[in-house]
């Protein structure tokens, strides 16, 4: 419990007192950090008139002078204004992972910006339809030889679109007559009022542009979540959390980059996130409850995409640090343990690290968590495999050993863990780094005065 309190105070994913590291790097960051720093320094020193050229650089005072214009451009819904605002914000939100830059604009400096960005995503969500729900063109079987069936304005629509001559080919007329009629008919633009997609619906090109704008807005929100100045604002913004959790919930049909940005945003905000915000008195824009939020995380955890299930495991490990989130997460505990143990069996070291980090924090919650984890099939075997392999990150092996130490601290688990006594002894004499942990594990198994059966098994091999 002491480790969980330290983790809550520091906001760490692994239970330590250091701040939780952010996932990945913001969009646009590369290996040439020195060149980026030089460009930022030159941009601060240069006058606005000298910034015209083939490269687009934003000087540090740009946001202070144009913050109202940026918000109004996002709210306008016009393509040119949206493009300008999103491109500008992509540069303003750029920040190196381990470098404090002067031109990285905090979200709090631009009032109304977060709501305007969320509106761009909401506009796309309003017109986005899952692929399985989109209307498909049906094959006409009855009346195939009839040019006009007599329903509605079909004749006028066909004649205006130039399809009447083409449809009359099957009614007995010769191909030459049909070609002559087709050549004589005037090509007219399609009458939109006869089309099923009316005036206020978007064509495929417009839908694609709306989708690109939503992805760009989600990327900007993700970039802002990397800045410590924005964490409190975003973690307490209900509309922001509802939007990102809804994108995660629809990960099977939504754009993959949009889902990834939403997931990484939540992971960055997780140390400060309280799921009770979804039942608070703050205004709600999307009907997201605590249960739906956890179900969205579980959907990402069960995904076959490595980046998604690794991030979801890391998210669970960070959320469980807050005791206020325990009732919502522990109701899914059996499913969480089973999936995390499955991730331990994957060859990807990232998946193993994320699963060990989450199990490390879950094992510190209460006795029930330790009992359920120890009874999970293959849990102990795969934790030992992570240590024996070993995992390339020594900290992950240390956490795996501490998980086993937490499990053996419960008397109900000792009978089950005695079956692995030889494996524990082997690691004790072969792995010097973790000898202390496994010495304590063997002591708990065999030297407790109230564990007479364990003593007999440990001494005589019963």
**Cis peptide, bond prior to residue 101, ω within 30 of zero:** no
Q: Tens digit of pLDDT for each residue in 122-144? A: 989 887 765 445 444 444 444 44
Contact at 8 Å (CB) between 27 and 219?
Answer: yes
Residue 42 has pLDDT above 60, yes or no: no
Q: Tens digit of pLDDT for each residue in 59-97? A: 556 656 788 888 999 998 888 899 999 998 888 787 655
pLDDT band at 108 (very low <50, low <70, confident <90, very high): low
Tokens of 151: 């329903």
For the chain, the 3-state helix, strand and coil shares in percent, each to the nearest 5, are: 65, 0, 35
105 vs 430 pLDDT, higher one? 430
State residue 21's pLDDT score: 55
How far apart CA 65 and CA 60 sit, in angstroms, is 10
Least confident of 46-50, 183-187, 445-449: 46-50
State residue 142's pLDDT score: 47
What percentage of the chain reaches a pLDDT higher than 70? 64
Q: What average pLDDT score do residues 411-430 get? A: 89
Can you say how many angstroms the Cα of residue 422 is from the centroid of all Cα atoms in its chain?
A: 41
How far apart CA 273 and CA 125 sit, in angstroms, is 24
Is residue 60 classed as helix, strand or coil in its secondary structure?
coil
Q: Which residues contact 61 (CB under 8 A, 6 or more apart)?
A: none
Least confident of 113-122, 236-245, 281-290, 450-459: 450-459
Can you say how many angstroms the Cα of residue 137 is from the centroid of all Cα atoms in its chain?
A: 34
Residues in the chain: 462
How far apart CA 122 and CA 100 sit, in angstroms, is 32
Q: What average pLDDT score do residues 209-217 get? A: 93
Tokens of 7: 């983790």
pLDDT band at 277 (very low <50, low <70, confident <90, very high): very high
Nearest to 436 by CA among 403, 405, 391, 394: 405
451 vs 203 pLDDT, higher one? 203
Q: What is the mean pLDDT of the chain?
A: 76
Q: What average pLDDT score do residues 376-392 get? A: 92
Nearest to 424 by CA among 392, 394, 450, 458: 458
Nearest to 98 by CA among 197, 226, 186: 226
Q: What average pLDDT score do residues 354-370 get? A: 93
Q: What is the DSSP letter of 139?
A: P
Residue 234 has pLDDT above 70, yes or no: yes
How far apart CA 228 and CA 444 sit, in angstroms, is 42
pLDDT band at 104 (very low <50, low <70, confident <90, very high): low
Strands (E), 156-276: none
83: left (phi over 0), alpha (psi -120 to 50) or beta: alpha
Least confident of 96-100, 127-131, 409-413: 96-100
Residue 29 has pLDDT above 50, yes or no: no
Residue 456 has pLDDT above 80, yes or no: no
Q: Which residues contact 301 (CB under 8 A, 6 or more apart)?
A: 309, 312, 313, 316, 336, 339
Can you say how many angstroms the Cα of residue 373 is from the centroid of all Cα atoms in its chain?
A: 26
pTM, to two decimals: 0.70
Q: Tens digit of pLDDT for each residue in 296-352? A: 999 999 999 999 999 999 999 999 999 999 999 999 999 999 999 999 999 999 999
Q: What average pLDDT score do residues 354-371 get? A: 93
State residue 5's pLDDT score: 53
Place of tokens 């992509």: 90
State residue 68's pLDDT score: 86
How far apart CA 366 and CA 9 sit, in angstroms, is 19
Tokens of 72: 């109004």
Residue 45 has pLDDT above 90, yes or no: no
């Amino acid at each position: 419990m002491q480790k969980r309190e330290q983790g809550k105070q520091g906001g760490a994913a692994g239970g330590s007192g250091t701040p939780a590291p952010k996932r990945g790097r913001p969009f646009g960051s590369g290996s040439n950090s020195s060149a980026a720093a030089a460009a930022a320094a030159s941009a601060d020193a240069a006058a606005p008139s000298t910034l015209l050229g083939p490269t687009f650089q934003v000087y540090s005072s740009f946001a202070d002078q144009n913050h109202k214009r940026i918000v109004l451009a996002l709210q306008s819904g016009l393509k040119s204004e949206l493009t300008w605002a999103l491109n500008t914000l992509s540069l303003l939100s750029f920040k190196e992972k381990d470098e404090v830059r002067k031109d990285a604009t905090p979200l709090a400096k631009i009032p109304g910006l977060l709501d305007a960005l969320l509106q761009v995503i909401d506009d796309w969500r309003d017109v986005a339809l899952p692929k399985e729900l989109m209307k498909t063109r049906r094959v006409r079987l009855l009346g195939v030889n009839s040019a006009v069936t007599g329903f509605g304005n079909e004749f006028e629509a066909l004649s205006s679109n130039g399809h009447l001559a083409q449809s009359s080919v099957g009614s007995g007329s010769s191909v030459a007559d049909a070609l002559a009629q087709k050549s004589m008919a005037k090509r007219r633009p399609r009458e939109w009022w006869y089309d099923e997609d009316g005036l206020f619906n978007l064509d495929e090109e417009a839908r694609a542009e709306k989708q690109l704008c939503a992805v760009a807005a989600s990327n900007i929100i993700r970039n802002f979540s990397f800045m410590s100045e924005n964490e409190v604002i975003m973690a307490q913004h209900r509309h922001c959390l509802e939007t990102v959790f809804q994108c995660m919930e629809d990960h099977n049909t939504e754009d993959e980059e949009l889902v990834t940005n939403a997931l990484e945003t939540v992971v960055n905000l997780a140390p400060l996130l309280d799921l009770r915000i979804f039942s608070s008195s703050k205004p709600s824009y999307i009907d997201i409850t605590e249960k739906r939020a956890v179900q969205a995380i579980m959907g990402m955890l069960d995904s076959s995409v490595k980046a998604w299930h690794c991030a979801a495991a890391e998210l669970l490990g960070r959320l469980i640090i807050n005791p206020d989130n325990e009732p919502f997460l522990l109701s899914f505990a059996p499913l969480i343990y089973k999936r995390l143990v499955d991730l331990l069996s994957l060859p990807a070291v990232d998946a193993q690290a994320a699963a060990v980090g989450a199990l490390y924090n879950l094992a510190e919650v209460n006795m029930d968590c330790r009992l359920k984890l120890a009874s999970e099939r293959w849990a102990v075997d795969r934790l030992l495999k992570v240590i024996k392999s070993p995992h390339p990150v020594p900290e992950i092996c240390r956490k795996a050993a501490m998980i086993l130490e937490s499990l053996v601290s419960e008397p109900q688990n000792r009978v089950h863990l005695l079956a692995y006594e030889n494996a524990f002894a082997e690691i004790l004499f072969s792995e010097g780094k973790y000898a202390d942990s496994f010495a304590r594990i063997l002591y708990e198994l065999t030297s407790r005065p109230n564990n007479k059966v364990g003593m007999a098994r440990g001494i005589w091999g019963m």
